[in-house]
Chain A
C-alpha cells in the first residue's frame, strides 16, 4: 500500500470542522427532547411533547407549505436555468458565454441580505415590476408581490439559479454535440432532437440540480423572512420566531431536527423516483 505522509495533516482541519458540526447537531438533538420552561433559558426534563406539538395543524401546515414552495422553486429554477445552461455550453461566442455565465453566477456573489433588499425594490407595490406594468397600461392596480408566496418563490429562484445553472451546464457539456447532429441528420427537427436526445441525456444534471435546489430552498431564511414578511411562513422562519421571539429553544430544535429529517427523506424519495430517469443519461 502507498503511504500518504500528508494525509493526517490535510485531513485534520476537515475532521475538526466535522467534529464541531457533529457536536452542534448533537446539542440540537438533545434540546429537541427537553421540555420548555416558559420564562427560562434553561430547558427542563426529557419529553416528547415538542414532537407531538409538531403534529398540530398550524405547524404541520407550515411543513407542507415549505415543501410546496421548495418544489415550485426547484421546478421554476429548472425551467429558467436550462436554456441559460444550454446557451453557456453550446454558444460559439466566447463573449456571449462569459456574459451569460456572469449573469447566472452573480447572485452567488451578492450577500443574502443585499440580494433580498434588491428584490424588495423590484417586487414592491411601487417597485420596478409594478411601475413598468402600470407605465405600459397593462394593469391599473399594483399586483401584490411582496408578502406573497409568488414573491418569495421569485426571490428564491434567483438564489438557486446559479447552482442549478452550474449543475445543468456540467451535465450538458458531457453530451457530445455529435448526438444532436446524428439525430438531426436522421430527420429529427430541433424540438424532437431536444425531447428525445438532449433532455434524456441531461437527466442526471436535472436530478442533481432539482434535489440540490430543493435542499437549498428548504434552509433559506433571509428571503422568506424579508420578502414574506411573516405572511409566508416557512420552517426556517418558524424556527427563528420560536427560538428568538419566544425563546422556546426546545421546540425550535425539534423543528430543526424534523426539517433536516424531512429534507433527507424528500431527497431520498426524489432519488428513488428519478433513478430510472437518471439511468437514461448514463453513458
Chain B
C-alpha cells in the first residue's frame, strides 16, 4: 500500500536554515544539512528546502548547498525558490536534487512548466501554489503570498496538471501559521479534480490536524515547518499516532 508522506520544510536564507529552529540535540541548528539528516533519521519521508529570499531578491538557489544535502541525505528532497528557467534547474538536479518546485515564475509564464517537464520529466517538477480566499474565491498569490494574481486556485491546479507537472504543493495562506488545521475543503476539492499527487501545506498545529487531512481529503502528503522545528510534534510520535488511526505510514 502506498504510504502517506510527512514532509518537513526548511526555509533557507544565505545557506542557513531560518524561521526558528529549536533542537537541543544537534550541534548547529542553522545547518540545513545536519537538520535534514536528523529529520531523515526520525522518519521524514521527504524534505523540502526552500530558498525564501530567492524570488524577491532575484537570488538563485545555491548549488553547493544542494550538493552537500544530496551527499548526506538518503531520502528524496525537493528544492525551490527563484527557479525561472530550464537553465536554473539543470545545475540543481546535477547537484543531486530529486525534484524542483516552481511557484511565481510558473504563474507568470505557465509555458515554463511544459519546458521543465520536457527537459527533465514530470517526476521532478513540483508546482507550488499559494492561495487565499478573496470574496469566497480561492485566489492564487505569488511572491511568498504577497501578490494576488488573476488566477483561481482550482483552474490553475488543473492547468498545472495538464502542462505535465508531477505534483502540486498547495499552501493555504489563510491557514498558514494559524495552527488551526489544514484547508480541508479546498484540499478535498483539489484532490477530486486532479490526478497527480497533492501535498497539503499550511495550518498544521497538532497531530489531529494531520489525521484530519489524510482521513478527510485524498492528499498524498502533508508538509509543515515550525511545528517540527520547534519540536511541538516529533515525527516518530506523529507517525505512530497516524498508524493507530489506520493511516498508511512508513
The yes or no verdict on A and B being binding partners is no
Residues of B bordering A, CB below 8 Å? none
Residues of A bordering B, CB below 8 Å? none
